[in-house]
Amino acid sequence: MPLIIDQNETRWLIRAEGEVLLNGANELKNLLLDGLASGKQLAVDLTQAEEIDVTLLQLLWAAEQHPAWMSGPIVNGLSDAAARAAQGAGFERFPGTGDSGASLG
């Protein structure tokens, strides 16, 4: 699972490309924690995800619910594959893709 970090003075962006599967959950968790600790605006871009495991969706959902999360929505874009995976996992809306989450239905 390619995870690419794109950061500048104010933003820490994690871009997930290709297959975002269970074996990358620990790496994504560590990157989320590093990004949160950086004090920068943290976001995850899933627009290039061709496949995503429900565990990673749950991790992103949990990160969005964390009390320290104050920099805005965590997910700034979903690919069609990521949206289908979220819908298949039972998410009617996926947190972080708007004020109340992107409608997946």
Q: How far apart are CA 20 and CA 81, in angstroms?
A: 11
pLDDT digits (tens, 9 = 90+) for 23-50: 889 999 999 989 888 888 888 999 999 9
Mean pLDDT of 1-28: 90
pLDDT greater than 50 at residue 99: no
Question: What kind and span of H or E run contains 4?
Answer: strand 3-7
The residues pairing with 19 across neighbouring beta strands, listed in sequence order, are 51
Taken in order of first residue, the domains within the chain and their CATH numbers are 3-100 (3.30.750.24)
Q: How far apart are CA 68 and CA 51, in angstroms?
A: 29
Q: How far apart are CA 47 and CA 63, in angstroms?
A: 19
Phi, psi of 8 (to 5 degrees): -140, -160
Mean pLDDT of 51-69: 83
